[in-house]
Amino acid sequence: MEDYFDTLTDNQKTLFLSIANFAFNLGYKVKKDKTSALGYTFTNNKIKKTILRFTSQQGKPILKLKFFASSSYSVFFQNLIRFTIEEYDYKYTGCYGCGKCDGTEGYQYQYLDGREYFRCGLELIEIFDVENVPLEEFLLLFKKQHEYYLPGNK
């Protein structure tokens, strides 16, 4: 992953290294993505789902995380859900009906005016604002999602 870390600032390196080490301690391995963008996906033999990815867009680092297993999270993570919903003009909301879950594996977001949207949890949520990631909460959400997918925990 040296090629990825070479693109990061010192503060970003500290953050990404902390996340990577946490993942390694949970039994994850890293695999370079076969895409034009520089990125790495973390995999775990016990879990057949992708929960964490380091990637980039236009040379800027991006974290991608799946964290629907947590029922509550800070405004930072709530805003990520809102941004993801709004990014595609509300087109990719609701259950896709793919049959991979019972329609509950995803994120709920409620606007102040009462509108409520569900975002499918199959895809990872992009975190562009890596400078302000609340690391402790990030690790907690990652661990909770990891535990959710462990065999026998659903």
For the chain, give every domain's residue range: 2-149
pLDDT given at position 88:
82
- Number of residues written out for the chain: 154
The pLDDT of residue 11 is above 80:
yes
pLDDT given at position 96:
77
**Residue partners of 42: CB distance under 8 A and separation at least 6:** 20, 23, 28, 29, 30, 31, 50, 51, 52, 53
pLDDT given at position 61:
96
Confidence of residue 31 (pLDDT cuts 50, 70, 90): very high
Average pLDDT for residues 34-38, to the nearest whole number? 89
Confidence of residue 45 (pLDDT cuts 50, 70, 90): very high
pLDDT tens digit sequence for 93-127:
877 777 778 778 888 889 999 999 888 888 899 99
The pLDDT of residue 71 is above 80:
yes
Average pLDDT for residues 50-58, to the nearest whole number? 94
CB 26 within 8 A of CB 35: no
Amino acid of residue 121: G
Average pLDDT for residues 15-32, to the nearest whole number? 97
Average pLDDT for residues 85-89, to the nearest whole number? 87
pLDDT given at position 154:
62
Average pLDDT for residues 73-96, to the nearest whole number? 88
DSSP 88-109: TTTTT-B----SSSSS-SEEEE
CB 85 within 8 A of CB 78: no
Q: Mark 59-68 as b/e (b = at least 16 C-beta within 10 Å).
A: eebbbbbbbb
